[in-house]
Amino acid sequence: MDLGDWRIKIDALNEQLLALLNERANCALAIGKLKKELALPVIDSTREHQIFQKIKELNHGPLSSEAIERIFRGIIEETRRIQESPTSV
């Protein structure tokens, strides 16, 4: 495979990642709505810890568990941002 072939593959992976990220954000919005109805706090540090544990256990690289945790922290942060936005409720 040459550079162009690899880039086509990366573009396809980016597109799949984009779709999953938005699907995940939709789930998080649904959870946010449910939590509001149940008067539960938006942030649940036990659940967050559980998420990081799970993905680290499932990770076989080449990205390190620390790298994966940083990426997922970014994803969760962006999701929280739309959960807290007044238009998202």
Q: DSSP alpha helices (H): ranges in 1-89?
A: 3-37, 45-58, 65-84
Q: Is 71 in the site for its own copies (CB under 8 A)?
A: yes
Around Cβ 79, how many Cβ atoms within 10 Å? 19
Interatomic CA distance for residues 18 and 14, integer angstroms: 6
- The binder of its own copies chosen from 41, 45, 46, 60 (CB under 8 A): 60
Q: Is 62 in the site for its own copies (CB under 8 A)?
A: yes
Decide: helix, strand or coil at residue 39. coil
Rounded to a whole number of angstroms, the minimum distance from the CB of residue 69 to its own copies is 10
Q: Is 53 in the site for its own copies (CB under 8 A)?
A: no
- What are residue 64's phi and psi, to 5 degrees? -70, 160
Chain residues that interact with its own copies, rule: CB under 8 A: 1-3, 6-7, 9-11, 13-18, 20-31, 34-35, 38, 47, 51, 54-55, 58-64, 67-68, 70-72, 74-75, 78-79, 81-82, 88
